[in-house]
Chains A and B, each alone.
Chain A
Amino acid sequence: MNRGNRIALACVYWAFVLYVFVPLILMILMGFKDSKFIGFPIRSWTLDWYTGVFSDAEVLYTFGYSVVIAVLSTLISVIVGTWIAVLLEGRRFWGRAVTFGLMVLPALVPGIISAIAFRIYARWLGIEPGMGAIVWAHAVHNVPFVSLVVMARLSTLPKSQIEAARDLGADPLIAFLRITLPYLVPAILGASVFCLLLSFDDFVRSFFLGGYEPTLPVLIFAMLRSGMSPEINAIATVALVLTAAIGIWAERFTRRTNKESQI
């Protein structure tokens, strides 16, 4: 590749980075502005919005509520998703293609449609809107992501690993627990982080299936209706920093364990 091309590609890349990050930077900046009105110029800076957020019981409670939902739905997704992955990967049986398609479907259904469907289904089953319903909807939506990631990892596990374990005296269950599962850890962790973030970030399902307590995105939406406030910027910034930190940590961890487990 010649020099001109490289420079052109670099310019496009940095233009893209600007395009993505400028809105985020604006949002972060406004959270430090000592004025109720969002926009330039910023004449003085303050941390009041942050102290306000951290002393706002409702915001803190909602944050915790969202985290609990994320953790619970992730646990369910990971167990069910891994289960399906182990069932499907490397096996041929009648109807495998259909089974696989059904497994992926929840991830493909448009959010609003699946949210309405869940709402109707929940009422029909007699499930009250609230935490249980949200956890359930998030878990179902996230299962395909876990299954796909775990299946990809599982497909790289040499068959001889399990055979070696069996050869050395492990029954199928022990072989799964001591060989397969440790091998899947990086994939499961990566998928878990992804599920946590998906759940934490979800608005549509949480909105339709929520009871009286809102999740964080629903709360922000409610706050927006009474007007844009730098407090929202502060909440959003905190959420952004946390999710970015978790994402980066997970990425590095996954890469490291992948490297270690290479044979």
Chain B
Amino acid sequence: MSASPLVHIDGISKRFGDAVALEHLSLDIAQGEFVTFLGPSGCGKSTTLRILGGFERPDTGRVILDGEDVTMQPPEKRHVNMVFQDYALFPHMTVRQNISFALELKGMDKTGIARRLDEIMSFLELDAYGDRYPGQLSGGQRQRVALARALAPDPALLLLDEPLGALDAKLRGQVQRELKSIQRQTHKTFFFVTHDQEEALTMSDRIVVMNHGRVEQDGTPEELYFHPASRFVAEFIGETNLLSGKMRGVEGEAVVMEWFGQTLRGHAPSGVPAEGAPITASVRLEKLGFHSSRPDLPNAVQGRVINRTFLGSRMAVDLLVEQTDGAKLRAFVDAETGQAIGDDLVWAAWDSDSMAVLRD
């Protein structure tokens, strides 16, 4: 089975009344992948998750899990488990009873259940809480119980529906690292849904950015961050400078664009636009470098720093670009550099590989 994907989503669509939730989504997920579906609310990420879990049926298309068509299977028949956004722990059952719920229903015998319970509870460091009720646990502990309960029946695919949303910021970072390491240790396939781009970048092997029921871009976190295919992806993930100009042509590997009379060179991850077409390019804030004289780089503009924002580990500087109608570029630099730039005219420069020409 190693050659065929664990999950094969084949052209699924779903409407709720007049609202289109998913439009002809096709996607393969390999065994052991940590895939994140990222997008704003209503983009179709949760619908996809619910279709994989069996809580919704697609209007068209099929879902193949491990070679078997599960499109019409109810949730209880699928070898898929889910960590719910609100954890959905059963309040009248202890931690132990919550985790063994699925094992009991599978018809596992008492010793089998006890063994599996010990295994999963020690793995997730829940041994001390077995006899507590969910109401007696902290947010982080509940999250781990929800994870333990979903992992206990050893599912082929684990669905996670924004499970970190309820945690405070500090705990969230810790849990993100934990989740990633749990996924590595168990070699499970994780299907993670979130609207938090930072969360997606930290944990995923692969991110699928969704918008209006369609896939905007599908790639590794680095690809999405540095080579966004569309304006939506560039804006949704991280902070970026968007430069609106005109397409001039292709020079070797580089796409040439005109921006306020200046010639800039970038690359086009989503295909080369037609000549003369209005285009938008994205340059990440940390890709801008500052120089006192014109450097030997494909892209260099002159301007004056008008604003500095100290952010602790770095500084954001705003550059008012000369010979434009007041265009500004924003850059991240370290604090010393930020101060050293001064208030005189400086050159800001970047490589053609750092500028992605976007699909609108």
Contact = CB atoms under 8 A, between A and B. Distances in A.
B86 interface: yes
Given A167-B53, A167-B75, A174 B90 contact: no
Contacts, number: 74
Contacts of B84: 160, 163-164
Contact of B101 (A158, A165, A171, A182): A165
Q: Size band of the A side of the interface? A: 20 to 34
Most buried by A among B87, B90, B101: B90
B76 A171 contact: yes
A158 B86 contact: yes
Interface in A246-263: 260-263
A154 to B, nearest CB: 15
Interface string B78-89: 001110111111
B57 interface: no
B92 A261 contact: yes
B133 interface: yes
A164 B98 CA distance: 10
Q: Size band of the B side of the interface? A: 20 to 34
Contact of A164 (B74, B90, B105, B133): B90
A261 B102 contact: no
Give chain A's interface secondary structure class: helix
A166 B90 contact: no
B86 A160 contact: yes
Contacts of B74: 166, 171
A167 B92 contact: no
A161 interface: yes
B82 A164 contact: yes
Given A160-B84, A260-B133, A262-B135, A168 B91 contact: no
Contacts of A167: 53-54, 75-76, 80-82, 150
A160 B88 contact: yes
Contact of A169 (B82, B102, B135): B102
A261 B149 CA distance: 19
B105 A160 contact: no
B85 A183 contact: no
A178 B89 CA distance: 13
Contacts of B75: 163, 166-167
Contacts of B170: none
Contacts of B82: 163-164, 167
A167 B105 CA distance: 11
Contacts of B39: none
A182 B85 CA distance: 22
A179 interface: yes
A261 B82 CA distance: 22
B115 interface: no
A262 B101 contact: no
B228 interface: no
Nearest to A162: B88
A170 interface: yes
B105 A174 contact: yes
Nearest to B89: A263
Contact of B105 (A168, A260, A261, A263): A168
Contacts of B213: none
Interface of A: 158, 160-161, 163-171, 174, 178-179, 182-183, 260-263
Given A164-B84, A167-B80, 4 more contacts: A163-B53, A168-B76, A260-B92, A263-B86
* 9 A-B pairs closest in CB distance: A168-B102, A164-B88, A160-B88, A169-B105, A166-B75, A261-B91, A182-B92, A160-B84, A169-B76
13 contacts: A161-B90, A164-B82, A164-B84, A164-B90, A166-B76, A168-B76, A168-B102, A168-B153, A169-B105, A170-B105, A174-B105, A182-B92, A262-B91
Interface of B: 53-55, 74-76, 80-82, 84-92, 101-102, 105-106, 133-135, 149-150, 153
